[in-house]
A and B are shown apart, each in its own frame.
Chain A
């Protein structure tokens, strides 16, 4: 039961993370490959608050601080770099994630924060994993999914579609692409930070290795595999990130390799999947939109 709770919690957290990345990529075409940097910011904010004053900082306060930190940093990064070419922004976002990783490691070492206390919500103790999933993770995921679906029916979504299709036309019509892009990027990043905080509260610890370049690439592969602009696609991406490694570990434990190489085999699988998806499945498994190809050298 403990393992099942662990897998369920991680599935919800990573599905939501893929959903927030999907929002940035599919709505305003921001290829935030270093998205886990914002997850790391939320994670570190929550851990720092809970480690210093566990009784003073309540659950809503912790989540709010994480969201604000993520939104502010993404606004700074967005205004500074979103006018750049798409592939330059990709590398800069990866670089940002590396800086966050470095700060995390320098602060608390490679092991990160440990033995954090879980705060209570409305007087309900969250010590039991299933209670935490039912009271915190599931409602947050449903809210994130509802916002994502509702956004697709709003006027702002059509403005974003216009910006993606023709930025010059949008500017002629009085729309500022930069403000819309930064706004959506802030929303996606703040959501990632919130999920970072929730993951830390759930695990009672932080793991800086979660925001390495390899993890960022795996997250992005999961998004493309599941499909862009789709709630179902994000859940499939989360499944690929959480359930497949567990299955691989279980399968490999019966093979000559043993279960120790599950992480490497998962990477190998994701690398192959990414190449296959980009070449033959530009919509992913259940995506609503294809990769937005920009023409370059032949």
Chain B
């Protein structure tokens, strides 16, 4: 039972990291970046490639995270920036980028699942044996979410990023480099997706479709929580992880996980369109 509980918390924590990236880009540009789901996969496969090049664990994770972050910046520059202001076109363009990334990964690595031998050694924590990746996931969650909250609520950069979503031209007139700030947000959100992808690949397996599965769960999570609340994303993430594990344990299939999650999403959207935490903490 405790193992199931830990498993649920770890899944929830990793989905919350992906969801945070979703929420960051949405809160600034007001569009759903569907390609974010494939950046999870890209991060995992880049770490796998670094491992094949005989890089050790820490450099592999750093290189994969930074490269995925840079890829996110390049995607924003080439596919989204020319379409700014056209929310639907940006959304459709993100579909194109998603297809492109997914097929490129399948062409490079094949469609079979692979294991990512990173952080798989066992660690003893409070009398229980956990995989290192599980401990790292929990530590990242405890560090990165409060850090994101601090940056977006308490620093000048966070204030500027929030202001951009309200009035782009006004912020630009104040001399703040809006484009550079948007690139930074894409770098951070893509890096978060890569970190989640590496840990998910290490705990489960790598496959070209993994990003879509976890990415759509993350999207459900961020909508249920409300796009503007980091605290809401964290809380709902933990709850969602436990729910996914419970449904998997009871029914033994992802089918029912999707059905339950989307049922909850539909109900929440109908009752509280701003999400469960969207009214109280509407913005970062």
Taking Cβ atoms with an 8 Å cutoff, the residues of A that contact B are: 31, 33, 80-81, 84, 86-88, 90-92, 94-96, 98-99, 102-103, 105-106, 212-214, 217-218, 220-221, 224, 261, 264-265, 267-268, 270-275, 278-279, 282, 291-298
Chain B residues, Cβ within 8 Å of A102: 253-256, 258-259
Chain B residues, Cβ within 8 Å of A217: 95, 98-99
**Inter-chain contact B87/A295, CB cutoff 8 Å:** yes
For residue B218, give the distance in angstroms from its CB to the closest CB of chain A: 11
A40 CA to B219 CA in the complex, in Å? 24
B79 at the interface (CB under 8 A from A): yes
For residue B100, give the distance in angstroms from its CB to the closest CB of chain A: 3
The interface size bin for chain B is 35 or more
Mostly, the A contact residues are helix
**Inter-chain contact A297/B103, CB cutoff 8 Å:** no
Interface residues of B in 103-143 (CB under 8 A from A): 103-104, 106-107
B28 at the interface (CB under 8 A from A): yes
**Inter-chain contact A272/B100, CB cutoff 8 Å:** yes
**Inter-chain contact B266/A80, CB cutoff 8 Å:** yes
Chain B residues, Cβ within 8 Å of A103: 255
Chain A residues, Cβ within 8 Å of B85: 295-298
Give the contact stretch, choosing among B29-37, B149-157, B230-238.
B29-37
A31 CA to B79 CA in the complex, in Å? 20
Closest to A90 in B: B91
Given contacts A87-B32, A95-B216, A279-B83, contact A267 B99 (CB under 8 A): yes
A265 CA to B103 CA in the complex, in Å? 7
B19 at the interface (CB under 8 A from A): no
**Inter-chain contact A278/B89, CB cutoff 8 Å:** yes
7 smallest CB-CB distances across A and B, nearest first, come from: A102-B255, A296-B87, A274-B96, A271-B100, A271-B99, A297-B30, A267-B103
A272 CA to B95 CA in the complex, in Å? 10
**Inter-chain contact A274/B103, CB cutoff 8 Å:** no
